[in-house]
Structure 1
Amino acid sequence: MTHQGSAVDALPLRLLTRIVNEYGDAPRAAAGESGAPYPPADALGEEATALWAQRAAPPEKALVETANLLHPVFAAASGGECADRLNTLIAEAGLTPAMAAREWDVREQWRTSRPGRTLLAAATLALLDHLRGDPDASRLGTCLGEACVDVYIDHSPARRRQYCSLTCQNRARTRAYRAAKRAAGSSPSAVTP
């Protein structure tokens, strides 16, 4: 028996977040980059040389559309909302599980029935694989930094990541420090006689 559709391999998670952050409307708008040109899609090959060796880099339109469909998964307010959004992506990508064999080695293989959604299918599969290993959906998030809604996947041992990068974290700490200094300087107890 043969299964309909094309086999899909998961994107590397680092590439997935890079696509969302560099091509998604929300991250670009928050960063004031809405009018700026998109980075060249070929540059993404640095993250997935094996993937791009099998096929050409996706067109810009597919990158933007995929990024915009994925961003809400990271922005979900609960595990239930995350699951609902992933179920929507599974359907949109036409993903179905199947079993495949190479000699006596039988393994799960996902397929897409929608060839135009291969990038979305690969990105969705990456999130499914990640959540299979770590089902805590709160570890998928959007940056709390000012003027930033970039996405991240929290791999930290403490499980408390809130920023997409050290740059955003350091900016937030600097702002908080300066605000505290200003507040301390303007309080009545800080005034010297």
Structure 2
Amino acid sequence: MHIVNEWGDAPRTEAHEGNEPYPTAESLRAQSPQFWAHFPPFDERTLVETANLIHPIFAASSGRECADRLNELISEAQMSPALASEAWAVQEVWHTARPDRVLLAGATLSLIDHLRHEPDASRLGVCEGDACADVYVDQSPAGRRQYCSLTCQNRNRTRAYRAHRRAAAQS
């Protein structure tokens, strides 16, 4: 999600950050060095392109649309499943025929893995806050999350409260 929210055009535009510089690719490695050690360095163009391809998954209006978009990404990255074994342990692995799409393949597999454990695609979403299009994964018990963060939720509630008070004062 961090890649989508920091490098995606929709979240940056909605937050009026379109003219600001992108975070450095090194900032990803600094957050989780062990994870990113498995990937080659990425340039800004690859991060932006991947974020823009992943964002629509979170904006899908149905499970079918989510699945269709994931299938498009599997095709785009030319991904294929296989089985591998180490001693007696057999596990699923995926390969990509496009080394330039390894980040897209990794992000797609992350979403697929999430949906394996939580198949309700409605729990993937785009923030409903004003001036925000960040994505989130709803892990709340009730499954009713609408905002990417408490900051966006509080900001939206404050705006609604102030608008209600202004309307009441004008009446």
* Distance of 2:81 and 2:104 partners within structure 1: 15
Q: Is residue 25 of structure 2 the alignment partner of residue 41 of structure 1?
A: yes
**Aligned residue among 115, 119, 126 for 2:103:** 119
**Percent identity at matched positions?**
63
- Structure 2: where are the runs of 5+ without partners? none
With structure 2 as the length reference, what TM-score do the two structures score? 0.96
- Extract structure 1 runs of 4+ deviating beyond 2 A: 51-57
- Structure 1: where are the runs of 5+ without partners? 1-16, 188-193
* Distance of 2:32 and 2:3 partners within structure 1: 12
The equivalent residue for 1:78 is 62
Aligned residue for 1:33, secondary structure, equals: coil
Letter in 1 for 2:125: G
Q: May I ask how many residue pairs the two structures share in their alignment?
A: 171
C-alpha deviation, 1:101, in angstroms: 0.7
* Distance of 1:79 and 1:24 partners within structure 2: 22
Q: Deviations over 1:22-77 (max 9, x none)?
A: 00011111111111110011011233211222344311111000000000110111
Quick check: 45-54 or 173-182, which moved more? 45-54
Aligned residue for 1:54, secondary structure, equals: coil
Aligned residue for 2:125, secondary structure, equals: strand
Aligned residue for 2:115, secondary structure, equals: helix
Q: Deviations over 1:96-147 (max 9, x none)?
A: 1100011111111111111110000000000000000001001000010111
Change (3 A) 1:26 1:185: same
**Greater Cα radius of gyration, structure 1 or 2:** 1
The equivalent residue for 1:176 is 160
The equivalent residue for 1:87 is 71
The equivalent residue for 1:140 is 124
Equivalent residues in 2 for 1:53-64, closer than 5 Å:
53-64=37-48
The equivalent residue for 1:14 is none
* Distance of 1:54 and 1:109 partners within structure 2: 14
Aligned residue for 2:81, secondary structure, equals: strand
* Distance of 2:134 and 2:81 partners within structure 1: 30
* Distance of 2:29 and 2:42 partners within structure 1: 10
Aligned residue for 2:26, secondary structure, equals: helix
Aligned residue for 1:156, secondary structure, equals: coil
C-alpha deviation, 1:79, in angstroms: 1.1
Equivalent residues in 2 for 1:16-55, closer than 5 Å:
17-55=1-39
